[in-house]
Amino acid sequence: MTRVACIGECMIEMSELSDGRFARAYGGDTLNTAVYMARLGLAVDYVTALGDDPFSSEMLAGWQAEGVGVGPVVRLPGRVPGLYIIQTDHAGERRFHYWRDSAPARALFDIPQTPDIIEALAGYDLLFFSGITLSLYGAAGRARFFDALDRAQARGARIAFDANFRPRGWPDRPVAHAAYEQAFDRADIVLASTEDLRLLFGGDNPTERLLVYSSAERVLKLPDLACRIVMADGLDQVVAAKPVARVVDTTAAGDSFAAAYLASRLAGADPVTAAEAGHTLAGVVVSHPGAIIPRSAMPGFLQPSDGFVGRTQA
């Protein structure tokens, strides 16, 4: 079976309710993708660092209940996870407020266990991470992370990169540009939104930088409920999504799209069919509050099997 590793950070999530109270959950972009991948039948582990506190233990139990593997998770004594608050407006758009500067996930590639983490990552068939993942680590940590990607690719792994960009996570644009270009250079699949690319690169047509720089399979999420698929073999096609009757919360729309897209590609679907699957799952997710929808609300599609991203067998 194809094995997937999602790398990043999970935080305590506090969602503000209409009466001013808060509902507590957990979330993070790559964690959300890992949960949806597991629900779609993939063998997926989450790779991160947590504390030794009750909230971290609660997270681990929740991930295991969702079928996400926690074997690679490192627990650091005396540390606690980051926290964020979500405020959602009447149109379903959200604002985030973070408390995460000392979160244990930021130390993942700067601890004594780092060599073991790098070695473990080389045993997966697909490594998935995001721009937010990159922002967690300092320069030395990112260098070790990229070394881990290189070692995994040398053993036959594929790399999928979601270009989520949050300016506040970076000291300046040049540092972010350099990190993203290294990620683009290594990725076999890049998922990016025009909004993120404009925030990162600026200019009138920031997507052209990705299209010219990267030769990966590129999935560009457009502002009008569509995505553009660009492949090295010449495919360049826009895939529209069906309108959603009622948008409640756009949290994890991109994360769930990534999960369904990658799961479909792993099952052997072509990129257009995979994009349609991504739109379908994302459309359901934005119709519910929070990052992770009830399991009963999951659409009944996709039965992943070994395929597109798996290693070549001898």
3-state secondary structure of 200: helix
Q: Which residues are CB-neighbours of 75 under 8 A, at least 6 positions away?
A: 49, 50, 51, 52, 56, 104
State the DSSP code for 189.
Answer: E
Active site residues: 255
For the chain, helix (H) and strand (E) counts, in that order, are 10, 14
Beta bridge partners of 237: 229
Q: Which residues pair with 193 in a beta bridge?
A: 221
Strand partners, 76: 51
* Distance (Å, whole) CA 285 – CA 289: 8
d(CA 231, CA 234): 6
In whole angstroms, give the CA distance from residue 46 to residue 296.
23
Two tokens, residue 197: 């690319």
Asked if residue 284 lies in contact with residue 299, where contact means CB atoms within 8 angstroms, the answer is yes
